[in-house]
Amino acid sequence: MAGITDSAFRQICRSCGADVVYSEMASATALYFKPQKTLELVRFKKTERPYVVQLFGKDPAHFAKAAKIITKKIKPDGLDINFGCPAKKVFAHGSGCALMPQKNWREK
């Protein structure tokens, strides 16, 4: 839902009865190396709560640092690691549903 689930869309969803709303997919790698632009992408208004930030990526170290940054600076109600996106662009990068078949993912 990149490019779609922005703040305006989330506010409309909440006003129509959504119990929880999610951010656009945010890159854990972008947060790891240069977080400012991605932090702007995932900012939200209090009226959007409960709000969950959705992260994508492939490197466990990047997810760990991204989670710390998001938790400290954005303070969402939850974090979601995307393991299901089948988009070719995301899959080719090794993210989304490409993470599912990896064995020993935690050991990387």
Q: Is residue 40 part of a domain?
A: yes
Mean per-residue pLDDT over the chain, rounded: 89
Q: Is residue 88 part of a domain?
A: yes
Instruction: State the Cα angle at 94 between 70 and 51, rounded to 5°.
Output: 30
Tell me the pLDDT tens digit for each residue of 10-61: 999 999 999 999 999 899 999 999 999 999 999 999 999 999 999 999 899 9
Please identify every residue annotated as catalytic.
85
CATH number (domain holding residue 82): 3.20.20.70
Contact 21, 4 (CB under 8 A): no
Domain tally for the chain?
1
Q: What range does the domain containing 12 cover?
A: 7-107
DSSP calls for 34-65: --HHHHHHH---GGG-SEEEEEE-S-HHHHHH
For residue 107, the model assigns a pLDDT of 55
Q: How many CA atoms lie within 13 A of 46 on its CB side?
A: 0
Handedness of CA 16, 49, 79, 10 (dihedral sign): positive
For residue 93, the model assigns a pLDDT of 82
Q: What are the distances in angstroms from CA 81 to CA 16, 17, 44, 58?
A: 26, 24, 18, 10
Residues found in the chain? 108
Q: Is residue 1 part of a domain?
A: no
pTM, entire model: 0.84
Query: How many CB atoms sit inside 10 A of residue 85's CB?
Result: 18
